[in-house]
Structure 1
Amino acid sequence: MASRIMHLAMGIELCRVCEINDRDRFLVGMLLPDTVITGDKKTAGTHYDRMTDELHKVMDFSLFYSEFEEKIHTDELYLGYYLHLIEDCIFRKYIYYGLGLLEMRGREGFLPRLYKDYHSVNGYIVKKYNISSLPIAPEGLDREEINRIYPFETRDFLIDMEKDMQDEYLGNEKYFSAENADEVIRQCIHTCSAEILALKRGEHFTSPDEYIWEARG
């Protein structure tokens, strides 16, 4: 899934092109699904993964929408969370099928090298999108309804994320480059901004069915 710096960059761009009233609350929501530190990320359920059949999986953001529909329309923290799930769907489709990396899953050395690429690209994104600070977590966030999904560890997560702000762009990526980041961010901004407009009309621009992937490969 997309790196947290990528999600932050996408959130900042969405604040620029869309009508977002509470920037910090929106950006924290944009990061929230990843704020699992002490728990098991595979079982925390923050990304609404589910199997569609024996061989395929989807990140079903429509389940999050049905659970928090009213909040999504009235609270930008929940809107940010919802769009994070859409961004991860787009990113997974791009990296698995657009870049042809589906068959690399499980191969020795693949994930460490991919994460090395992410850290290098972080340095590029921080400079390109002029990211100079992180959003501030709202007071009392740990008591809000969103925590019924998982007891999010937002403050510790944001402290840890400070390290990503110091990543250096090396330009020697093997699997995921700065150009790839630019393209997937462009796709995410297009789809998420269109979804925001569709929500205002009581509609949806995109559906989880567009992003089903092979769970085994």
Structure 2
Amino acid sequence: MTPAEIKSVAARRAFATGLSPAEREAEAARIEAELTAEAKAAEQAKAAAAIAAEAQAERQRIAGVIKTGADAGKAMQAARLAISTPLDATGARAVLATLPPDASATAEALAIPEAIGTFGTQAAVNERRRVASILGHPEAADRFATASALALETDLTLAQAVSALLAAPKAEARKYPTFEQRQREAGSFGPSFDNGGGMSKGERIDSMWAKAVKDANASIGAAGLAGGAMADLTRG
């Protein structure tokens, strides 16, 4: 109800009590305050529910992208993609198809970017930041599956998730491939990180992701990711 409607309802209820004019005035004020508090609480609950729904939707999007990557042995690169771009599982599948498996990727390609994508509602951005803080924490490095479950199946804070991660066993340390192995498996995946043609590490990462997204856009007939999302994707 609007403030005017609340005042009208309060006056009607007070008038029906059979009190004296002074008492009715006091009763109307009491009822008005009570109704105002109820209306405010209802609005706050509605807003909180909307925020929770937006956060849950973003969590589900990220989970879908990571699952798509996990099915192809590219869960960690999928996580980077989900945190950096607004792609859903279908769009991410096209990009991931151009990337090597996580086991053949460099540490830079697997890193969760510190600068997350800023697309979506504020609730979605906040949720994405929470998920990224958990997946990108050093304790998640050898516990990615556990970290993903904590980040995407609960609403734990970073501190709570890290405490849970410390209690979980570490997986076998990832073995980085040799230069020759990466050459064989990389295909058209941009420049090698061991032979960058004079480019800096950051430039090589940018080139790698830019080529992956370009190839994916070509394969799905897309005009390309938005400039902001592309910048977020290539920024580690």
- TM-score category by the smaller chain? under 0.3
User: Structure with the greater relative contact order (CA < 8 A, sep ≥ 6): 1 or 2?
Assistant: 1
TM-score by length of 1: 0.27
TM-score by length of 2: 0.25
Higher helix share: 2
